[in-house]
Structure 1
């Protein structure tokens, strides 16, 4: 940080955190969405969780919890958690237990 850099703004808060993309919390509106997807996966099913109001580090930690709970593999990138297989019910249960407002998305 150079001398004279602004570190606080009444509109944006602490600007030092905004410089590190891993600590920036995503601004979302509405509930966390859980969806089952098969398109583009060669017929394989995946459960995706998106619209999370978390930063990248927190999303990866939550992905680890969900993967362990469901006993499957998966990934967390670009604000989306992907789990192998259809695990919507278990994911919704875990997220509601952690206090998130959760909705099933899609068909």
Structure 2
């Protein structure tokens, strides 16, 4: 995200020494795969009736979430995204995702 987007709604300051500070959310360290408690679910909400598989419950950094999302999308051969702490995979991919997650070491995926 660009720096200017963090400053939306901030008034102009005439103080030449003023430095804008943002409230940054501290990311949790990424848990090992065997300690992650991921959940697989099917959703059609707000998607025009199309099915997507949601992978929720990931604890870790945004970069690690995006990397896992990319791996899952590539192995399933479909599109999707990773944002807001969940991975969205197009279509009903639950059986395939379950086997992929188990092969990656995520033992508690259900």
TM-score range, shorter chain: 0.5 to 0.7
Instruction: Report the equivalent of 2:41.
Output: 35
Select the structure that is richer in strand: 1
Q: Which runs of 5+ in 2 are unaligned?
A: 1-23
Give the superposition deviation at 1:53: 2.1
**Greater C-alpha Rg:** 2
Instruction: Report the equivalent of 1:75.
Output: 81
The correspondence of residues 1-107 of structure 1 with structure 2, limited to 5 A, is 21=26, 23-25=27-29, 31-100=37-106, 101-103=108-110
Q: How many pairs align?
A: 83
TM-score (norm 1): 0.68
What's the Cα RMSD here? 2.3
After superposing on structure 2, the runs of 4+ consecutive aligned residues of structure 1 that deviate more than 3 Å are none
Structure 2 Cα separation of the partners of residues 80 and 34 of structure 1: 10
TM-score (norm 2): 0.66
Q: Which runs of 5+ in 1 are unaligned?
A: 1-18
